[in-house]
């Protein structure tokens, strides 16, 4: 599975970082057509590619990296949380990145996890509360 994660991370990292004028979440197809996107757009491409390949335990993770809002993909594997980040072509663990990456919350099609200092708390909430996520899923379904 590590080879798959590395290949997906490298493939999506080839796209140019383009900052949003307004916070628009692009579908993976939009990112490919435009030749780039911001960290969320690249993370969505990685997420949907891995989910499509049947990789288990894939989550999108909203975090702060060096004080800035950032999004990465996190994958549970062998008791570790592996990070696929636009800012690195190397797969690292959340513990290796603990000094620079502060996880706020993670989510997927079915899960929403709030990261607390004392540990993670999985909340049973309606994911539609993440309105941009719901809008993105709807646009992908219609592509």
Domain of 105, CATH number, reads 3.10.620.30
User: Residue 141: inside a domain, yes or no?
Assistant: no
pTM above 0.75, yes or no: yes
User: Residue 51: inside a domain, yes or no?
Assistant: yes
Instruction: Please state, in angstroms and rounded to a whole number, the distance separating the CA atoms of residues 60 and 71.
Output: 7
Helices within the chain (DSSP H only): 2-13, 28-34, 39-52, 131-142
User: Residue 108: inside a domain, yes or no?
Assistant: yes
Which residues 6+ apart lie within 8 Å of 108 measured at CB?
Answer: 47, 51, 58, 59, 60
User: Residue 72: inside a domain, yes or no?
Assistant: yes
pLDDT in tens, 89-111: 999 988 787 777 788 788 888 77
Domain that holds residue 83: 2-136
Based on the structure, what is the number of domains in the chain? 1
User: Residue 97: inside a domain, yes or no?
Assistant: yes
Q: Nearest CA to 101 among 78, 75, 79, 68?
A: 68
pLDDT in tens, 27-79: 999 999 999 999 999 999 999 999 999 999 999 998 888 778 899 999 999 98
């Amino acid at each position: 599975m590590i080879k798959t994660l590395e290949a997906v991370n490298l493939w999506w990292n080839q796209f140019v970082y383009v900052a949003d004028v307004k916070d628009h979440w692009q579908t993976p197809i939009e990112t490919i057509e435009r030749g780039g996107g911001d960290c969320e757009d690249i993370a969505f491409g990685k997420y949907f590619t891995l989910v499509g390949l049947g990789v288990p335990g894939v989550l999108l993770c909203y975090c702060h990296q060096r004080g800035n809002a950032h999004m990465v993909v996190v994958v549970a594997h062998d008791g570790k949380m592996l990070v696929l980040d636009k800012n690195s072509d190397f797969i690292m663990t959340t513990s290796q990145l603990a000094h620079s990456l502060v996880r706020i919350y993670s989510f997927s099609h079915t899960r929403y996890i709030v990261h607390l200092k004392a540990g993670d708390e999985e909340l049973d909430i309606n994911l539609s509360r993440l309105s941009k996520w719901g809008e993105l899923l709807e646009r992908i379904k219609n592509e």
